[in-house]
Every structure is written in structure tokens, then in C-alpha cells.
Structure 1
Amino acid sequence: MADGNLGPEAFSQLMAELRPSLHRYCARMVGSAFEGEDVVQEALTKAAIAFPSAEPIERPDRWLFRIAHNTALDALRARKRQATFDEAFEEIVDPAAAADARVAATASLAVLLRLPVAQRSCVALIDVLGHSADETAQLLDLTLAATKAALHRGRERLKGLAEEADASPPRLDAAERDRLRAYADRFNARDFDALRALLSEDVRLDLANRRRLDGRTDVSMYFTHYGNTTGWWLEPGLAEGRPALLVRAAPGAPLRYVVLLDWRDGEIARIQDYFYAPYVAESLAIA
């Protein structure tokens, strides 16, 4: 895109169109699909605030990726995991680039997080999102040689990590499994009154990529909306090692999105529903 004169409506549409790609990048930068969505939301909020007073933007898509990149770095700094761009770069010829790119594109978020930031950024932009080396260099303010070197080293490191034995898979705690199973059974039976009764007075609902609601009265409407539709089936599972409700159209159907629940004293204190952000599921490790 090269239009530097986007109006507010066109810019809002561009943000919506780019959101899945921005999430794929941010999730790989911070090592979490869930946190990646939080980073994207923060980045787009910053962009929406800055856009009206910004100078004409030659490449709005690249501008948004730069804001997302910087927001992801801020998140990493907050977690004290920020790495440095202190590598010695040189031009590297990579004869096995296609095979290495496939390894990089399918690497888990946890594995990608083990790369230095420069390598992780280049791998995510080039191998996952399909940007060219030139575009990546411009976005990250690196030389082309530095970009190719970081990409090469990232691919090499990922090949080594892929050969390491996997850790024991996470398991769902029995008590949490029973609690999620009871919720799923009530939902699948469409007993939404029973689910409303589980809400705490100060319950919070986060509908990712849409809105937030607070309090039992407002959040109760969440179940009303589900009650007016069909085609949803819930089952307990793990998403990024976290207890989650896996949402499918029917038993055995492909995963559509996930729901997370936080409990306090036997009541639901928070619901995080990713119905409006189904792209999050593609980056999740599900069990």
C-alpha cells in the first residue's frame, strides 16, 4: 500500500484487515498468542491516537507494523526479557534457505521466544508473514546484510532447537478439569441460567477485538447472545498450557476459538472470549 492520504474510515478498515497478520507477528515476538493479542490491541490504540495528527504516511501498513514491533519490544522490556541488537552482521549465503524457512514458519511460540530479538523479528517477518528481506530491513532499521545475517542465524538456531527432545506435555489439573467440564456441560446443554449463577458480582468480560463489560448484570447478557445462536460446542483443554474451553462447531470439528475463565472462591471472576479474534487460535499450542 502506498497511499499516504487515507481517510479515517479507510484507515480503520486497514487496521482490521492487518490485525490477523499483526497478531501473528506480535505473538511470535512475545511468545504467547494471548499476550500477542493484548500487544496488538495496545499498538492499534496507539496508532488510532497518532493517525489524525501524523504526517502523510507513505506506507500505512509498514507504519502499523513498526508501531506493533515497538509495542512488542515494550512488552518484552516490561518482562525483563529484552535482548539487544549487538550481533556482528555480515552477508551470508544460505543454500538451504527454503527448508530452513519451513522449520522457522512452523516453530512454536515458546521456541521462537528463545531467539534473540533481531533473529526473532526477521524470522517472523520473512518466514512467517512473507515479507521480503528489503521490507524487513526497512521496518527494523537494519541494513540488508544485517537482516540476512539475523535471518540465517535464527533459522540455524531453530533447526537446533527442533532437534531437542520435547519437554513433558502439560496436563490439566483434575480440579480445574472438573470445573471446566461442568461449565462446558451446562453450556452444551444450553443451561445458561446455571452459568449466570456462577458469575461474581464484579465479574469482567473481555471480548477480544470487540468490547469489555463489567458486573454481573451486563455480563449476563453474554449468555443471552449465545442463547440466541447455535453451532457452538465446548470442551475442556489446554491452550498454551493454560486451562481453557475449546470451542468447536460440533464434537470433533476443527477448533474455532477459545474461552478462558478465571475463578475466585468458586465464582467466575473473569471471562476472556476470543470469538471476535479467531486468528489467535492459529498460534496456540492446544492440548
Structure 2
Amino acid sequence: MGTRVDERAFQEQVEPLRRELTAHCYRMVGSVHEAEDLVQETYLRAWRSFPGFENRSSVRTWMYRIATNTCLTALEGRSRRPLPTGLGQPAGDPTAELQDRSDIPWLEPAPDTVLWGGPAPDPADVAVGRDSVRLAFVAALQHLTAQQRAVLLLREVLRWSAAEVAQALSLTVAGVNSTLQRARAHLRALPEETRPPAAPAWDEYDPRVRELLDAYVRAFEEYDVDGIVATLTADAVWEMPPFVEWYRGAEDVGTLIGTRCPASGPGDMRLVRTALNGNPAVAVYMRGPDGVHRAFQVQHLEGDPRGIAHVTVWFGTRVFTALGLAEVLPG
């Protein structure tokens, strides 16, 4: 008979790691829904092999090793999850028809409630730092091979030694070092609109940031296109999968919103503030002919006190559900 596993001892050791393992798998695969499934598979694999664990490494290291290899298996033969800016085409014409490519497996956002259990506290106090799950960083990772992602994350996010990574991934130390060099070079060569920023620009405690976000929400709820444009940086980027087009420049974004948004006046849109990937976000509810405001889109915002520099938009109710938000607002 096989060795019996003490379920209570197992859970006490591994359950505190669930959120950070979810973040790790999310960085690897670009989908929080898939990441949660992969964490479940990780726990199943860990349960099966727990009798032979024997504390040869820390439980955390052991679980990350299992999670990383679970993700690598899942990514075999799979295409990456891009954002529109990552497809390689130039900025689009805001007056042209939109191309819906719902067949593409787009990059998904990660609600802060999944990563931290609520609004993210000081990243110095938590296992999952905000920088490591920024949308721009996760999007940039999608340009790397699965093995390059794994090596980069283990070396630069988790701070493992090259020898530890080599052991986890069945590589040589030289192979780990060369893979890391290629990954870094690839990220440096990305176009500006897809390159992760050197450091996050938002500071939620800065009154200028709060004023900017207040103005943005107010302008949308009043359907004041000029007011929306005024909150954007001059070279702001706007993208909204599943549409392949993306737009650069506050004026072009204003033209897009003025011509494509189904709102017609003040009150048509109501916004609820939330958070994705450690950044501010807003859930937009659109008023229908019956006067009811229904889930329309969720916008992830990046920028600094000077203005909002990048907006990524997802349509449909899936992100609303992940955020724990209602599909219909009360009257």
C-alpha cells in the first residue's frame, strides 16, 4: 500500500501559497481563469507526490517548481495571448470599421481581488508585488517563448539562483543563463507601445492622481468627449480586444469614443471604480432603451499625474463576474 498523506498537514503548508501561485501561473499563461485551473492541477500533482517530498527544499520552492512545469505542459503547442498593440500593426484610423477577432485568445486582466483578496496593500508586505503583475509586464511576457517566460520569472521575479532554476526546469546552468539573456534582449527590442515601463507611474495616494481619475469618471458619465480627451496624455494609447485595431493620440481616442460609443448623452453611462493588475480600473454600465444600465465594458487605466497614458478595454460580462460586479446596476 502507498504512504498515506496527512491531508491537514498538506493543506496547512500549501494553502497559504494559493494566491501567489495563481499570480505566477497568470504571468505564465496570460489568463486568470486558466491560471486558477492550473493551480488546481498543481495542488493535485503536489498531493500525489507529497509522500516523497521529504523536505529536500522549502515547500514554497517545491510548489513553484510543480506550478511552473504544469504551466509549461499546458503551453505546449499553444499560441500566445496578445493585446492588439502586440500584433505588430500600426495605430488604426478611428473612423474606420472595426475588425472583431473573437477567435484570438486575447490576454486577460487579473482582478486585484484574485491576487490579493482585496485592494492591494503595500507591495512590500505581500508575496505578490504589484510590479510583477502589471498588465504591461504580463503582455510583454507573451512575446517570449514559454521557457523564456519561466526562466525570466524564476530568476527576476522570484530571485532564484541559476542553479535552482536549472534544477527546476531540467536545464544546465549555462542554458538558464543564455535563455535569460535572450529573454531580456527580446523585451528590450519590443516596440514602445508594448514595452513594460521601467517603474509604475501611479501613486494612489497622490491627490493629483485622484483628481485625474475623478475627472475621467465624471467626463464619461456626462459623455463629455472633450473632457475625456483632456484627461489623456497627448500620445495616449487605446486598445480594446477582441478588436484588432489600437489607437494612438488623445484626439484620435476622442474621435473613436465620439463616433463608436453607443452613448448619446449624460447619464447613459455609469461607472464603478475597481482595480485590475494593481492599477485603477472602471467598470462601465450602458443604459439600454428600457432605462436599465447593464454591464458594457471594463477599462484598465495606466498613467501618471500628467494624464492617462494607456487604456485597455474588455467587453462582455466575464470580467465583471471575475471582479464580483453585478451585470445590472440598480436604478
Q: TM-score, normalised by structure 2?
A: 0.43
Indicate the structure with greater helix content: 1
